[in-house]
Amino acid sequence: MSDGDAGLVAALRAGDEEAFATLVTRYHPRLLRFAESLVPNRAVAEEVVQDTWLGVIRGIDRFEGRSSVKTWLFRILVNRARSAGAREHRSDPLGGDVLGDVLDGRFGATGAWIDPPLPWVDAVEDRIVADSIAQRIKGCLGQLPEGQRQVFTLRDIDGIDPAEVCDLLDVSAGNQRVLLHRARAHIRSLISAEMGRD
Amino acid sequence: MLFRRRRALVCRQAVGLMTDYLDGVLSQRDRERLEAHLADCPHCSEYLAQIKLVAATAGHVEPDDLAPEALDDLVVLYRRWRSD
């Protein structure tokens, strides 16, 4: 549980408005970011997140602490998004091997690189560029297919445990890793292209 | 003498194993094959380093700030529910 989350839950149960405001400030932006990967547009995402907070207020007494507060919030969000008509099935095709199509044409017939990745090292050692990678990732998110975006957001951005991600998104462990693999590869490729290093 | 050499990975296969490797779910045999390949292949090592950097840096991606009016609206909602 994040620092202070347990205390916030206890305070919220006791009717502490300040605790509610703190919880909203801490998690609302993350919930909204994830909601945008679940529903068709920002307006619906905002409604779903508002509805999530209503679920939190009503359900706080039933929260048993078996998951983290963060995961509990994301779970309510996913359920609310489904009720609001979120697409049940991801459109990303999971056919083919784990690589997807981002590296098409980069390997020869033997499977060795014919167009290998150019090093980022020089660029990344530049502190300004290194600091901007997070910003670049943020800018790339909207270009990911929705399943990849959902898994990448939960796993790498919000740091949610793989098993909990599978449970939240109702995907197998294997498919979750395929989506994560493709998402990271996709973002790596977009960043490389932006750096002129691909 | 019967001695079966483990078939070495090619780059394409190595790249395909990287997420499972980082998640620690590869079999010992595949992990060893991948690590042997990485020791000999600067391109795959570079690729893995870039993937690791993406994964590690993603945790620093901040969401947009919360709009003050959104917080105000939710606090009003909370107050209303408490008073019901």
Inter-residue contact A37 to A153 (CB < 8 Å): yes
Note the pLDDT tens digit of each residue in B15-44: 999 999 999 999 999 999 999 999 999 999
Mean pLDDT over A14-34 rounds to: 94
> What is the token pair recorded at B73?
């609206």
Pairwise CB contact (< 8 Å): A134 & B23:
no
Chain A hits for B63, CB-CB cut-off 8 Å, are 29-30, 32-33
B61 touches chain A (CB under 8 A): yes
HSE, side-chain direction, 13 A CA sphere, residue A70: 18
Nearest CA in chain A to B47: A117
Cα distances (angstroms) measured from residue A176 to each of A39, A97, A187, B3: 19, 14, 16, 37
Position A91 pLDDT exceeds 80: no
Cα distances (angstroms) measured from residue B31 to each of A38, A66, A168, A173, A182: 35, 33, 29, 18, 20
Position A184 pLDDT exceeds 90: yes
Chain B hits for A152, CB-CB cut-off 8 Å, are 58
Pairwise CB contact (< 8 Å): B61 & A134:
yes
Position A60 pLDDT exceeds 80: yes
- Residue B1 has what pLDDT? 41
- Residue B30 has what pLDDT? 95
For the entire predicted model, the pTM comes to 0.88
- Residue A127 has what pLDDT? 57
Position A1 pLDDT exceeds 50: no
- A162 three-class SS: helix
Inter-residue contact A123 to B43 (CB < 8 Å): no
B57 touches chain A (CB under 8 A): yes
A65-79, A113-127, A150-164: range with lowest mean pLDDT: A113-127
Most A CBs within 10 A among B7, B9, B12, hence the mutation to make, goes to: B12
- B28 three-class SS: helix
**DSSP secondary-structure letter at A160?**
-
Share of chain B above pLDDT 90, in %: 65
Residue A137's φ and ψ, nearest 5 degrees, are -60, -45
In the beta sheet, which residues pair with residue A113? Answer: A107
A81-95, B17-31, B39-53: range with lowest mean pLDDT: A81-95
Mean pLDDT over A107-132 rounds to: 78
Q: How far apart are the first and last CA of chain A?
A: 39
Tell me the C-alpha distance between B27 and A92, whole Å.
27
**DSSP secondary-structure letter at A36?**
T
